[in-house]
Amino acid sequence: MYSLAFSILFVSILILTLVVRFWLASRQIRHVLAHRAAVPAEFAEKIPLAAHQKAADYTVAKTKFGLLTLLVNSGVLIGFTLLGGLQWLAGHLQALTGTGMWSQIALIVAFAVISGLIDLPFDYYRQFVLEQRFGFNTMRRGLFFADMLKGALLGAAIGLPLLWVVLSLMAKSGDLWWLYAWFVWSGFQLLMMVLYPTVIAPLFNKFVPLADESLKSRIEGLMQRVGFASKGLFVMDGSKRSAHGNAYFSGFGANKRIVFFDTLLSRLAPQEIEAVLAHELGHFKLKHIVKRIAMMFLISLGFLALLGYLKTQPWFYAGLGVNPVALTLSGQGQGTDALALLLFMLVLPVFTFLLGPLSSLSSRKHEFEADAFAATHTQADDLVSALVKMYEDNASTLTPDPLHSAFYDSHPPASVRIRHLKGAAA
């Protein structure tokens, strides 16, 4: 009875999210096309019409492609759950491997391989058709497949031991397993923050210390002014995959580093680079990064506690197309732990989708604060001209649908952001 109610709830929310996402996408497409004919007045002197139209076409193409992948992914989700895909997979694997730890791990690996194979043609199309058409792809096919292989090996090397620990806790540490799993997960996240910039990212890209001496002394001056110590400034060879440019901040403690894509560096003037960097430092100085990490820990604690409860509820499995009794001799034993994890990971995004705007809202608030920080410590006009170049180079639309933007965007629309910066300058 509960399981039927849960199935109905799941399907209703899935349909609701699909309707909302199609509605937002159609608004976005209509809005962008309606403003395609002319560059918005405030950008008219800086951005050529051809670039504006390219951004419109790129946005529309990406949005349409997003809808296609959304439909396919929703079909796959239903296939794995209500249509019995996971049940079938788990049953066959257990016939081969029993119900112990190895069968649990085999189930999750099999799931990861199948979803990876389903995603592959879409990833390929995105890179070699969509990005290619707009001149952003700089990647050779060999690199694409090498990246994929490296990613899979790395995922196995890091993911399998972690999975083993979590499944062991689920099986053997009693009712509070989720709390112990949370400690493990949080420790793992912190470890990744150290390992990502120093060990993992260098497997995919080259990072060289910024060489330009005059730029370096300009940047060191800025870091001194705002009181920021860092292991360094690095330039990343982003151009080997894509023409999109970016700058980011990674690591923490003594491992902090600032990374500029070579594609960005080659386009911006020194004072613009300084302004972009000031924005990134703003995120650090205003404790956005610490707040974000704390929030992430808190949310994962909540979700793990929820999983701790759901794992013991028969309706959770049955409502999602899995019959645990048929799969395990010992009832709620280890036989269903991997299933509980997979089901939870599969359906969680459906149930949390409508909360997305909250996270976008908090992220945009941080962007305004970091912009204001940059405007205090460098010239607001330099950040404005850097942003205009970045929008043009990335073919980001200057005229997003306001509602679409409010729902999804981690950064405020260009015009709003620039208006705030101009206000700060004046």
Write out the catalytic residue numbers.
280, 371
Supply the minimum distance, in Å, between the C-beta of residue 126 and Zn ion.
Answer: 24
Contact positions with Zn ion (CB under 5 A) in 311-350: none
- The answer to whether the CB of 373 falls within 8 A of the CB of 274 is no
- Check the CA dihedral 375-379-383-385 and report its sign: positive
User: Which neighbouring-strand residues pair with 232?
Assistant: 257
> Using CB under 5 A as the criterion, what x/- string covers residues 349-368 for binding Zn ion?
------------------x-
Q: Do the strands 257-261 and 247-250 form a parallel or antiparallel pair, or are they unpaired?
A: antiparallel
Q: Judged by CB, which is closer to Zn ion: 10, or 261?
A: 261
Q: Judged by CB, which is closer to Zn ion: 233, or 370?
A: 370
Q: Judged by CB, which is closer to Zn ion: 170, or 386?
A: 386
- Report CA 36 to chain centroid distance, whole Å: 29
Torsion of the alpha carbons at 71, 77, 80 and 83, rounded to the nearest 10: -70
Q: Judged by CB, which is closer to Zn ion: 43, or 373?
A: 373
Is residue 282 classed exposed, middle or buried when 0-12, 13-18 and 19+ CB atoms within 10 A define those classes?
Answer: buried
What are the start-end ranges of the H helices in 126-176? 132-133, 141-172
Supply the minimum distance, in Å, between the C-beta of residue 107 and Zn ion.
Answer: 39
Supply the minimum distance, in Å, between the C-beta of residue 276 and Zn ion.
Answer: 9
Supply the minimum distance, in Å, between the C-beta of residue 368 and Zn ion.
Answer: 9
Count interface residues toward Zn ion (CB under 5 A). Answer: 2
What is the per-residue DSSP string for 173-227?
A: S-TTHHHHHHHHHHHHHHHHHHHIIIIIHHHHS-EEE---HHHHHHHHHHHHHHT
Stretch binding Zn ion (CB under 5 A), from 43-51, 230-238, 289-297, 369-377:
369-377
Q: Judged by CB, which is closer to Zn ion: 74, or 396?
A: 396
Per CB under 5 A, residues contacting Zn ion are 367, 370
